[in-house]
Amino acid sequence: ETGVTQSPTHLIKTRGQQVTLRCSSQSGHNTVSWYQQALGQGPQFIFQYYREEENGRGNFPPRFSGLQFPNYSSELNVNALELDDSALYLCASSLVGDPSGKLFFGSGTQLSVL
């Protein structure tokens, strides 16, 4: 088990609504990233945060936004939900200065958009 915890574990929303997902990083890790994993696919990088600022973003529209707090916990916000946003959302933490990409993932939040 990693020290990365995510909440909630499951969520059901309707199209057009907004959602906030939460993540608590592993102790000592100061970089957090978010991934979207559609059914039968590998995770897709959404963005990463370091020192409370976004410092890398994948190919996702601006309605996907995030926050990182001083205690390194993080939120992912998605506005104007679409059916295709249904997926497993994964939070991952790592140590800044480790260039290797070794990430520690939480168990994810399963989002269903109806």
Partner 1 sequence: QKEVEQDPGPLSVPEGAIVSLNCTYSNSAFQYFMWYRQYSRKGPELLMYTYSSGNKEDGRFTAQVDKSSKYISLFIRDSQPSDSATYLCAMALTGGGNKLTFGTGTQLKVEL
- Chain positions contacting partner 1, by CB under 8 A: 2, 4, 31-33, 40-45, 48, 50, 55-56, 58, 90, 92, 94, 99-108, 110
Angle among Cα 5, 77, 74 to the nearest 5 degrees reads: 35
Residue among 81 and 108 whose Cβ is closer to partner 1: 108
Q: Is 84 exposed, middle or buried (0-12, 13-18, 19+ CB in 10 A)?
A: exposed
CB 14 to partner 1: min, Å: 23
CB 50 to partner 1: min, Å: 8
Residue among 80 and 95 whose Cβ is closer to partner 1: 95
How far, in Å, CA of 22 to CA of 59, rounded?
Answer: 21
How far, in Å, CA of 107 to CA of 70, rounded?
Answer: 22
The structure tokens listed for 58 are 């994948």
CB 109 to partner 1: min, Å: 10
CB 82 to partner 1: min, Å: 22
Residue in this structure with the two tokens 């001083």, named with its chain if needed: 70
Residue among 56 and 80 whose Cβ is closer to partner 1: 56
Residue among 23 and 81 whose Cβ is closer to partner 1: 23
The structure tokens listed for 68 are 């990182």
